[in-house]
Structure 1
């Protein structure tokens, strides 16, 4: 039971000093790399954010990881994220590989069963997204899209307007281009 509640003043001091320095290093790297580094636009961005947090915790609490090693890990994660996002802006295949594409799940009164199965989404989840968007029935909805970040976009049906496919989304069996 020794060291469960208190090990030594030296370990507390180390944690304090490393916490401040690691935090400053991380903030500096994030400022240099830009706002995109911590965006939550898709699953890839979330993974990078979680990895940075995990790395920070490891640097703070593990005596086996020096501050310089933690700083290098921060730099590597941020650098790799920069390379991937830079590439995804320039190459469509990289963007599709990293982020996927939005998927139409409901369109003009019809649940798109194959799309639902592929996305592993239930009708109950679609109905919950519709309710969360402030609509009471599917009759008020033109389409529901599963976005690349895992969120649902619910597009309201427009009375007196012809139906339209949401921008950037392909109808099943068709391509976006």
Structure 2
């Protein structure tokens, strides 16, 4: 393939994609939904075909980008004007934690496990699920967190309190399975864990959805 032709096609493809992105708006970049992700792959494939397939000319690739961009723009217009279409086309937010309780049904529906939920919550600066009153999984895959009033502002600095040592919560049970390494690291064993669960009227590990240990606050458990 002629390198000059390849460079020309790349430049034209880049300009075409840039124009489409500018027309569709910033939300296509900052809030990637499932459909947006597919759209990005398809547009990228259009340019790739133009570069590496000699039979695909520049005019065809520009035509394909224009039509696909028009379809995406039409879809965005529909979702903006008709509220009822948003749930079907863009999806709906899911309440993963409600009144401090993890919704196992919503976890399963959104293909999430406890470890992924912890990762999403930590990305919001919350290192313990016990601090969360509500957690909403947004349509773009991010999570919005509302802390319990006990853990919300004012901060110690606002109240002129002396700083205290901060501890990271340690997960002991996830989806009914004991994480032995974490248990040992914290200085406990299986016998201690079962005694603590028994105090909370839980006799089987399999009946626990999530359990974590936090120094100074003890064991936090949510049953299945």
Correspondence for 1:109 = 100
Contact 1:101 1:148 in 2 (8 A): yes
Q: Give 5+ residue unaligned stretches, structure 1.
A: 1-9, 162-177
TM-score scaled by structure 1?
0.75
The answer to which structure, 1 or 2, has the higher relative contact order (CA under 8 A, 6+ apart) is 1
Cα deviation for residue 112 of structure 1 reads 0.9
The structure in which a higher percent of residues are helix is 1
Question: Map of 1:55-134 to 2, 5 A cutoff?
Answer: 55-134=46-125
Find the aligned partners of 2:146 and 2:27 in 1 and give their Cα distance. Answer: 29
Task: Report the CA distance between 1:70 and its aligned residue.
Answer: 0.2
The TM-score with structure 2 as length reference comes to 0.60
User: Structure 1 pair 152/37, CA: closer, same or farther in 2 (3 Å)?
Assistant: closer
Instruction: Supply the RMSD in Å over aligned alpha carbons.
Output: 2.2
How big is each residue's C-alpha offset from its partner over 1:24-52, in whole Å with a ceiling of 9 and x where there is no partner? 33334444x24257434222122212221
Distance in 2 (CA, whole Å) between partners of 1:158 and 1:37 is 32
The alpha carbon displacement at 1:90 in A equals 1.3
After TM superposition, the structure 1 stretch with the greater mean CA deviation from structure 2, 117-126 or 60-69, is 117-126
Q: Give the structure with the larger strand fraction.
A: 2
CA distance in 2, matches of 1:51, 1:37: 18
1:16 matched to 2:7? The reply is yes
Aligned to 2:163: none
The 3 A distance-change label for structure 1 pair 67 and 37 is farther
* Change beyond 3 A, Cα 1:157–1:20: same
- Report the counterpart of residue 39 of structure 1 in structure 2: 29
Q: Distance in 1 between matches of 2:21 and 2:99?
A: 43
